[in-house]
Amino acid sequence: MNRRQFLHTASLAALAPTIAWGANPAENHPEQLARWLRVAEKLKPKLNETTVTPLKVVKPVADGAQFLRWRMETVAPAAKLGEWLLRDGDGAIIDFGGYVTGHFRFTVTPEGQGVDSPTRIKLTFGEVPAEMAGSFADYKGGLSRAWLQEEVITLDVLPATIQMPRRYAFRYVKMEVLATSPVFSVRLGGLRATALTSAGPNKSPLPGGAPELLRRIDEVSLRTLRNCMQTVFEDGPKRDRRLWIGDVRLQALANYDTFQNYDLVKRCLYLFAGLPREDGFVPACVFEQPKPARGHVYIIDYAALYAALLLDYARAAHDWKTARELWPVARRQMEILSQYVDKNGVFSAPAGSWVFIDWKDGLDRTAAMHGVFVYSLRQAQALAQAVGADREAAEYGKRIAELTAVARAQFLDSTRGVFTSGPQKQVSWATQAWMALAEIASPTEGAAALRAAQNLPDAVRPGGPYLYHYFVAAMLKCGLKTEARELVQSYWGGMVNAGADTFWEVYDPKNPMLSPYGDPMVNSYCHAWSCTPAYLLRSGGLL
């Protein structure tokens, strides 16, 4: 599936038979689902609030040496803005000095012969300088233009204090006076933001001897995660602002090692459990407002990873009671997905379904998805053993052995020492990563395959941080610690050196304008799945 087709993903409702969940019919009874949603609601956190004031007034300057082609120059300290008299066409860009997810307020004070007309002001909120330099009117992306953060307000009575009702995600705010009257000007002052997060303090700082670049990467990782931790683990606080299984699984790993907000993970687990499709298949994403509801998108590999998300949580929080209660949900994903193993023993996703793996056009996902399924079966087997589901644990063990043997026969190119995928025998980083993580490849084979993929010029590279995480995790699993550290330093460090104060949804060092949605203006520059160096640097084993 290419980057635009996700907008029109077919529902899988017609692709899976309607089967009662497992042995206990009560497991998908409406009353049970409603109870799980009530548990999720009780776990909804109260957000921590911090008042933040801007540091300076800035202006964007075109600079081809910068990754996103723009940089900011300081014009004046932020306090100077309140001294300026502004008329039609005047304005300023303020820089808060760091990323903020929250609410914005300011004051407008008139000065002149009297207020004889309304005042109209435009506000544009941006994560990166390019959003302040360009015009949203030029947007040509495939997602709704409403995601672009701009507002026009008309004030009939001055002076006024304006508390913007919507929550924004930004570092920069452009304020433009569109219209006043010839007889008066306005001053803009009292600028401040109320930053929101459900994250507390970091409980596990890096050791003192960590290299400086890795420290900077960790700081940006933590800032990314903190801004995405709201009443759920959002994928991006600017755009989408919803809960996705793929994102929350990676956010949760970083959270366990840092902020340790276990209840937020538990809340997300119960939201997915309480909002399945009619046959028990969990949705890829969940909306919170106006009340919890499942999204219309179903992603095969995301559903497979629910078992891993539940197992990770139970181990980190030592909460096996929740694991036992939600075990039927994880088991049901394995039941449904097992139906998609074809007569040759290869996982074959139904036509029209979405297998994500990575934002990468041209990627053959067959082998990687087979690996994700085996990996997820291993997580489900460990979960089954922990909750006393011995029959399922034995069944999964048998299935893992069968699927592993098939994968080695179908995908392993022993001559080149890599795993291939599809009729064209494509070599990709994705395939090598999931063969290693699923233990289809031995650590020695996995290490050789991961190195080979990096050195093959025609190997399909990752399209974004989501797959880069799993590739680094595979390297660490196969003992390639030095190479894994170098990749983190070059990839996430590349974003830091490009000016990122939070990590981005997509990043291709060779393509600054890359966007899954047809226009980088709508890209998320603070994105959940990019925060994992905080995990990799701690229990991930990178240091």
What would the 3-class secondary structure string for 218-232 be?
Answer: HHHHHHHHHHHECCC
Separation CA 221–CA 203 (nearest Å): 14
Q: How far is CA 457 from CA 368, 418, 453, in A?
A: 19, 14, 8
Position of tokens 């407002």?
A: 289
pLDDT of residue 83: 96
Residue 453: what are its φ and ψ, rounded to 5°?
Answer: -60, -40
What is the mean pLDDT for each group of 10 consecutive residues in the chain (543 residues)?
Answer: 43 38 59 97 98 98 95 97 96 98 98 95 97 93 96 98 97 98 96 98 93 97 98 97 98 98 98 96 97 96 98 98 98 98 97 96 97 98 98 98 98 97 98 98 98 97 97 98 98 97 96 94 97 97 92
Question: Within the chain, what is the greatest distance between any pair of CA atoms?
Answer: 85
Position of tokens 């996703």?
A: 349
Both tokens of 303, joined, read: 């559903």
Sequence ranges of the chain with CATH classification 2.60.120.260: 48-197
Q: What type of residue sits at position 127? A: E
What would the 3-class secondary structure string for 132-154 be?
Answer: HHCCHHHCCCCCCHHHCCEEEEE
Q: What is the per-residue pLDDT across 118-127, written as a single tens digit (0 to 9) for each?
A: 999 999 999 9
Separation CA 117–CA 183 (nearest Å): 9
pLDDT of residue 209: 87
Closest Cα to residue 303, out of 267, 263, 333?
333
Position of tokens 């233009």?
A: 145
pLDDT of residue 6: 45
pLDDT of residue 221: 98
Q: Are 484 and 472 in contact (CB under 8 A)?
A: yes
Bond into 30 cis (ω within 30):
no
Separation CA 12–CA 302 (nearest Å): 13
Q: Are 327 and 354 in contact (CB under 8 A)?
A: no
Q: Are 404 and 440 in contact (CB under 8 A)?
A: yes
pLDDT of residue 15: 41
H/E element, 124: strand 119-126
H/E element, 493: helix 481-497
The CATH classification of domain 48-197, taken from the options 2.40.160.210, 2.60.40.1930, 3.40.50.10680, 2.60.120.260 = 2.60.120.260
Residue 79 has what DSSP assignment? G
- What b/e sequence results for 344-377 when a residue is b if at least 16 CB atoms lie within 10 Å of its CB, and e otherwise? ebbbebeeebbbbbbbbeebbbbbbbbbbbbbbb
Residue 66: what are its φ and ψ, rounded to 5°?
Answer: -85, 150
Sequence ranges of the chain with CATH classification 1.50.10.10: 5-47+199-536
Q: What is the per-residue pLDDT across 205-228, written as a single tens digit (0 to 9) for each?
A: 999 889 999 999 999 999 999 999
CATH topology (fold) of 5-47+199-536: Glycosyltransferase (1.50.10)
Separation CA 177–CA 86 (nearest Å): 7
